[in-house]
Amino acid sequence: MRSDVLLKPVVTEKTNEQRNDRKYVFKVDPRSNKFQIAVAIRQVFNVNPTKVNIITVPRKPKRVRYKIGKKPSWKKAIVTLPPGEDIQIFEGA
């Protein structure tokens, strides 16, 4: 099991609202799958996720002066936890 599956938590207004439904959002390694993400959540945060949804965010165009480029695509995972469990890293945000 690779320890670098979870890269960082995603903290936005939308993800803060999803925490009320016990859904937590993480930026994850693009090569990982749902099962690897669930195992990493169990190992790192000591909780048992009930569902893991994965979304690949497409790359977007970016322009700096006269040069046109693209932002890289990335993968995010929405982890749903059962009632009574939460992830403490998000509670201070």
pLDDT of 41-73, one tens digit each?
A: 999 999 999 999 999 999 999 998 899 999 999
Which residues are registered as beta bridge partners of 79?
24, 52
Spatial CB neighbours of 27, under 8 Å, sequence gap ≥ 6: 6, 7, 8, 9, 10, 74, 75, 76
Q: What is the CA radius of gyration of the chain?
A: 15
pLDDT band of residue 89 (cuts 50, 70, 90) is confident
pTM: 0.86
**CATH code of 76's domain:** 3.30.70.330
* 72 φ, ψ (degrees, to nearest 5): -70, 155
In the chain, what percentage of residues exceed pLDDT 90?
85
Q: Is 10 helix (H, G, I), strand (E, B) or coil?
A: coil
Q: Does position 25 have pLDDT exceeding 90, yes or no?
A: yes
Cα separation of 93 and 89, whole Å?
8
| Domain that residue 79 falls in | 6-85
Domain count, the chain: 1
Q: Is residue 93 part of a domain?
A: no
Q: Is 66 helix (H, G, I), strand (E, B) or coil?
A: coil
Q: Is residue 71 part of a domain?
A: yes
Q: Is residue 28 part of a domain?
A: yes
Q: What is the pLDDT of residue 3?
A: 61
Q: Is residue 91 part of a domain?
A: no
Q: Is residue 1 part of a domain?
A: no
